[in-house]
Amino acid sequence: MALYRTSTQIVGDLLTATEESGQAGIKTTALISKANLPHSRLSKILSNLTGVGLINKIEFNGKHTFVITPKGRQYLESYQKFSTIAESFGLEI
């Protein structure tokens, strides 16, 4: 049986990977492997996350690097707390 992630879990994974990369940021290829997503799907989600201000996209020499914003950290912290609470009740988000 395959294990599917919800879009909320995918966003959590992306924000976690971006936060772990610190101020140096994380490149698109590293995010593809860490999030285990095809480039086309990742691009759409990253566009949404930058659009709502959870991550910043930095372009340099045609390469993109992503850095989590303070708002993104706040979202991630809330997501992690809620996820822990949901799991304690036997629920998956």
Q: Is the confidence at residue 16, as pLDDT, over 50? A: yes
> Residue 4 — pLDDT band, cuts 50, 70, 90?
confident
Question: Distance between CA 74 and CA 2 in Å, rounded?
Answer: 31
Kindly give, in sequence order, each residue whose CB lies less than 8 Å from that of residue 7, ignoring residues fewer than 6 positions away. 45
Q: Report pLDDT for 93.
A: 79
Strands (E) located in the chain: 26-27, 55-60, 63-68
Question: What token pair was written down for 84?
Answer: 């822990």
Q: What are phi and psi of 89, to 5 degrees?
A: -100, 5
Residues 39-69 pLDDT 10s: 999 999 999 999 999 999 999 888 999 999 9
- Give all domains of the chain, ordered by start, each with its CATH number: 7-82 (1.10.10.10)
